[in-house]
Chain A
Amino acid sequence: MKQWSLWVGLMAASTLIPAALAQSATPVRGGTVVDSLYEEPDSILPNAGAPMVFAEMVQNTLFTPLLYTGPHGNLRPGLASEVPSLQNGGISKNGLTYTFHLRPGLKWSDGKPLTSADIAFTANLWKNPQYAGTSKIGYPDIASVSTPNSTTVVFHLKKVFPPFLYAWANYYMPVPKHILDHTPPSQIGVGKFLHNPGAYSGPFMLKQWVVGDHITVVRNPYYYRKGYPYLNSIIFKIVPDQNTQLLALKAGEADIGYFLPITQYSLLKSMRGFKLTLGTVPPGWESIWLNEQDPALKSTKVRLALTYGLNREQMIKDVWHNLALPIANAQPPGDVSYDPSIKPLPYDPAKAAQLLKEAGWVKGSNGMLEKNGKPFVIVYSTTSGNPWRSQDEQIVQSDWGKLGIQVKIVNYPASTFFGTIVPKGKADAMEFEELNLPSPGLYLPNFYESNKIPPNGQNYEHYNNPKVDALIHQMNVTVNPKQLMHIYHEIGRITAAQVPMIYLYAPPNLAVNSTRLHNYNQNNFAYDTWNSWEWWVSK
């Protein structure tokens, strides 16, 4: 409860009060905001390139999706005039047909009309096996797309896919047919369009991209929200060193810093002329994926012992200044399927020792655990160069060491860790963060279904539970939202009790923005530029 109260207190101090003050002021048109990016985007073409926070931040200012998620996970209409549902007939009763109605009179930034043909073109491009998009989830399930008129697009699915609306939300923004349709699909996602998509539907349009330095976006005169955006332009300045980024903010050379390190919390808190926001709820969750290819970790008792024997509260307190939230499973607070009745397992080393004993692990003469003469050794890996993960590792090594387990730490650069170590299961325990996705249908199968073991998915822990498999199968054919929620909760309960991974915490997302910038609000399901049309700066 302590973390929750501090969280709420900080939110009130850092978000609600300034927000209330901002609302009392009258928005002013004009001005430029400088947003500092820690990495240079790889692409500004939606659904192209690798998934990348900073690329999607810029894309959000340049394109508009059919739907977008608000700060609390609720879908809102973007280019579409309403969110399709069973009630309004946008989703057919059998869950196989989705009808979107576009707002009338939509235009691209070059003045050309934005119609249902653009949406159909985008769908056919993204479902094309020749096209390597960031996400292919949902698009191959489209059997056909029809466009009865210029503002209506109808998707006919091959099979029920409950999160289909999310395949058209946030970063999955329609692309301009009149620019791209002369290029073979295999070349669109790897060619020049990544840096210059040619026409935009967002509040801003690209003015200039100086590679390695900055990206300037300026007001799109054809943006559908009349009177918006308030700003004339946003400059995304690439500052690849986080110390320099903080100093640049301090010197007033940038207005926004996003995805900032917790190690700088004290400094960020006290920066004059800036306000610190933590996000309404954390955008992701950190966990230790336990590789069940190691026979010791296949035992649920051992996995539970490792969880009971690890002081996660200490990580939250010492490493995260009590700003991270404890989690019980992969559906953390803020997720649409979060179930507060499922509690995180407590720190209980005595119970951990008992469970290890029951699993056949006994202490040898050197005080370390062994079974059939073999010592209990865990190879623990994560990305190198992350100060908070190094601190986590020290706690893991100490706590599991007390149980009699030897922890060997081997860290790797992120590209090696995610490219080789994790998918090939070259460590016993692997710590990393997953970002929240808007629908559990998009990630639960990937993490837990037995046929998603690499290379077929992200079941890096090699978890195999027929009951969970059956629930996922049922989830994939269920349309009714209430029934779906029931299934999500049931999977959440099983995975919290069986711990295929040790769910550590949901870290906060630290961002600062200059006090001259108004309406800067974090969104749990989208990056901070999600509402850039309503940003404005005091004169």
Chain B
Amino acid sequence: MRYLVNRILQSILLLWLSTVAVFGLVHAMPGGVLAAFANNPMLTEAAKKALIRDLGLDRPLITQYFSWLGAVLQGDLGRSYNTGQQVIRLIGAHLPPTLELSFASFAFALVLSLVIGVVSATRRFSWLDYALTFLAYLGVSMPVFWFAVMLILVFSITWPIFPVQGYNNLSNPSLLSNLHHLVLPAITLTVFFVARWSRYVRANVLEVLGQDYVRTAHAKGQTRSKVIVRHVLRNALIPFVTVFALDVGSVIGGATITETIFAWPGMGRLFYDSLTYRDYPVIMGILLISAAVVIVANLLADLAYTVLDPRIQLA
């Protein structure tokens, strides 16, 4: 319990430091929020000054930071400079598609990488291991934007099975249509994660397979599958949980490339657009939420260690 309280306090400190970093970095970006207006021959200097005042950008940076932080503590992430909408509402609109895409790809990727990793490790140096290793390297090496476009070319243009882009049928939206639209972006992300994760699982399983307790389990006459699931996999998962937690956190911030290519209206798209327009409140809102999710995911990962291995004590 004490450990948990300590970790939560640490997390709050870390989150605060991340707000300072986020605010500092965002404001250090060249161009500035008025870049979108700068090349506008129709806007007078007086109007630009009025805009700066309306957006509160004429105040000292430190005042802007504390006024932003004060509002954040009250649950107000501010309004988008670009569209005037509340940041919390913008994030609220973009989060569900990202969660849907992330969970779908995580679920498939998790199952596939465990199976591929274990099969690859238990049949080490077999033709199957070589084939799976080759595919994993292929998956890691393929740029996401290229693979996504190839999927579209094959499954939307050559064989028009899935839609090219979008989140749902615009004239007649339905759950089925939404799932139909989900397939290609989910495959893109799944392949990316399977390629990475299956290598971790393989390496960890290989390491555990050589342990004395595994040999003992075999010697006790336990079946091969029981040994793999109970003794090998459980121990092999501990380092993998760390990688998984980090990836979960990063994807909540949005799979920018995948979402952009498939016109999937998620957090990655929102982040990309906000960066383009130097929409500080939105950028800061997304980064803050991503940082929070990464911190929480890591905290949960630490707690998961104790479940996977009772020898680990959190004190």
| A interface residues (Cβ-Cβ under 8 A, vs B) | 32, 34, 39-40, 42-43, 49-52, 129-137, 140, 186-187, 189-195, 210-214, 216, 235, 237-241, 243-244, 247-248, 250-251, 253, 412-416, 418-420, 422-423, 432, 437, 442-443, 446, 455-458
Q: Chain B nearest CB: distance from A413 CB in Å?
A: 7
A129 touches B50 (CB 8 A): yes
**In the assembled complex, B300 has its CB within 8 A of some CB on chain A:** no
**In the assembled complex, B212 has its CB within 8 A of some CB on chain A:** no
A240 touches B54 (CB 8 A): no
A136-B47, A211-B265, A415-B278 known; A235+B170 contact, CB < 8 A: yes
What chain A residues lie within 8 Å of B17 (beta carbons)? none
| B interface residues (Cβ-Cβ under 8 A, vs A) | 30-32, 34-48, 50-51, 54-55, 79, 81-85, 90, 93-94, 97, 149, 152-153, 156-157, 160, 163-167, 170-171, 260-263, 265-266, 269-270, 272-273, 276-278
Give the 9 A-B CB pairs with smallest separation, nearest first.
A419-B35, A135-B42, A212-B265, A50-B36, A132-B51, A419-B31, A415-B31, A415-B35, A213-B265
A192 to B97 CA separation, bound complex (whole angstroms): 23
A42 touches B83 (CB 8 A): yes
B30 touches A416 (CB 8 A): yes
A68 to B32 CA separation, bound complex (whole angstroms): 34
A42 touches B263 (CB 8 A): no
A190-B54, A213-B166, A416-B30 known; A136+B46 contact, CB < 8 A: yes
Q: Chain B nearest CB: distance from A162 CB in Å?
A: 16
Q: Chain B nearest CB: distance from A419 CB in Å?
A: 3
B171 touches A32 (CB 8 A): yes
B260 touches A190 (CB 8 A): no
A435 to B239 CA separation, bound complex (whole angstroms): 56
Q: Which of B50, B153, B156 contacts A132 (CB 8 A)?
A: B50
A193 to B83 CA separation, bound complex (whole angstroms): 9
A241-B261, A250-B157 known; A213+B167 contact, CB < 8 A: yes
B265 touches A136 (CB 8 A): no
A186 touches B50 (CB 8 A): yes
What chain B residues lie within 8 Å of A418 (beta carbons)? 31, 35, 38-39
B41 touches A437 (CB 8 A): yes
A51 touches B42 (CB 8 A): yes
What chain A residues lie within 8 Å of B273 (beta carbons)? 39-40, 212, 240
A195 touches B84 (CB 8 A): yes
- Of A129, A132, A189, A192, most buried by chain B (CB within 10 Å of CB) is A132
A212 touches B93 (CB 8 A): yes
A323 to B273 CA separation, bound complex (whole angstroms): 31
A192-B85, A193-B84, A251-B164 known; A240+B263 contact, CB < 8 A: yes
B272 touches A136 (CB 8 A): no
